[in-house]
Amino acid sequence: MADTEQIWDFSGLRAMFLNGTLKRSPEVSNTEGLIEVSASLMRRHGVEVEVLRAIDHDIATGVYPDMTEHGWATEGRRSPATRTASSTAP
């Protein structure tokens, strides 16, 4: 099977995992352990992987690109929405 795995090359692809744990960093997150199983497989095949632990960020929830226009105090520094939008750009 190891020979078969070597033919897969997904260089140039990026993936973002959103970790919904309730534990702030640097506490151990069992969710992150599960994410790491998939993330390591993706990295082995050339995918650039980012893991974002939501609880560690000031994330305004909603459906608009700028939630400060809809009552939120801040959008947070470089929100996940901005990161995912830039990930899909050619």
Q: So what's the pLDDT on residue 60?
A: 78
Q: So what's the pLDDT on residue 58?
A: 82
Q: What is the CA angle 78-36-29, rounded to 5? A: 75
pLDDT per position in the chain (90 positions), as tens? 455 556 788 999 999 999 999 999 999 999 999 999 999 999 999 999 999 999 998 887 788 888 888 888 887 655 555 665 555 554
The full set of domain ranges for the chain reads 2-87
Q: So what's the pLDDT on residue 73?
A: 82
Distances (CA, A) of 10 to 13, 17, 40, 83: 6, 17, 13, 20
